[in-house]
Amino acid sequence: MTDRVVPPPQGRADFEARLRRIGAERYHDLHPFHARLHSGGCAPDQVRAWVINRYYYQSRIPMKDAAFMSRVEDPDLRRAWRSRIEDHDGTAANEGGIRRWLRLASAVGLDPDYVASTKGVLPATRFAVDAYVRFVRDKTLLEAVASSLTELFAPKIHAQRIEGLLANYAFADDSSLAYFRNRLTEAPKDVAFGLAWVLDHADTLEKQDAAAAALTFKTEVLWAQLDALEGAYVTPGRIPPGGWRPGEGLAPARATEAAE
């Protein structure tokens, strides 16, 4: 019988560099929809479509974190993870990301109740986001943590977004953009923990491959959401059945204006 030669895992620094390369090559900061949004090239209804669809992602993030925690047996890991749910759902002292996102919805002229209803979310957005929640529920804990590591690349895009939206859109101010400003401090804390956890636990090449594949999968979840927006509201501008149509879900004052 011949011994099977198991290739050794990559060293910690090389493996981290591999994960970062996935972001450099595939993160959604490279998507043309973001370039248009940040440079002021989106019409008001394209911004509204982004806010409506992206709300679906926001709303599912704490659900996927709860699904993750329901599988964790180690109280230390659960303790480290649970602030993610509070960051989005809020606490007595912190309004939380979901309410902040709905403030952005109001600022762009949408009825926050309409946005929170998730009516009008594009089918492809729903499929992509639901696939992320399912991935985290069903895969190994290592893959689940690794899939959150796109947040390594998020502070850069949040900073670009704050700067770009403030420079180019009348709705942008400290209140409407509070969501992104808060993420600038929340995400680095989460991702420092998640990255260290993945580097510690991916102790074979097979596990490293699985973690890298999980991160790649997540970049696809993000990219697919922007492709959905681009196809429905930019080119070819084909809104699928059930997708939000301009004029729907506006804040009451704007709905009256639109009717006049």
Ligand X SMILES: O=C(O)c1cc(C(=O)O)c2c(n1)C(=O)C(=O)c1cc(C(=O)O)[nH]c1-2
| Helices within the chain (DSSP H only) | 12-26, 32-38, 44-69, 75-89, 97-107, 112-117, 123-138, 141-147, 154-168, 178-201, 205-233, 252-259
Task: Provide the binding-site residues for ligand X, judged by CB under 6 A.
Answer: 61, 148, 150-151, 154, 157-158, 183, 222
CB of 145 to ligand X, least distance (A): 10
Report which DSSP code applies to 93. S
User: Helices 178-201 and 75-89: crossing angle, nearest 10°?
Assistant: 160
Cβ closer to ligand X: 48 or 158? Answer: 158
φ/ψ of 11, rounded to 5, equals -65, 160
Cβ closer to ligand X: 207 or 218? Answer: 218
CB of 42 to ligand X, least distance (A): 15
CB of 122 to ligand X, least distance (A): 17
Cβ closer to ligand X: 111 or 151? Answer: 151
CA distance 243 to 220: 21
Cβ closer to ligand X: 9 or 96? Answer: 96
CB-closest chain residue to ligand X: 150
CB of 12 to ligand X, least distance (A): 22
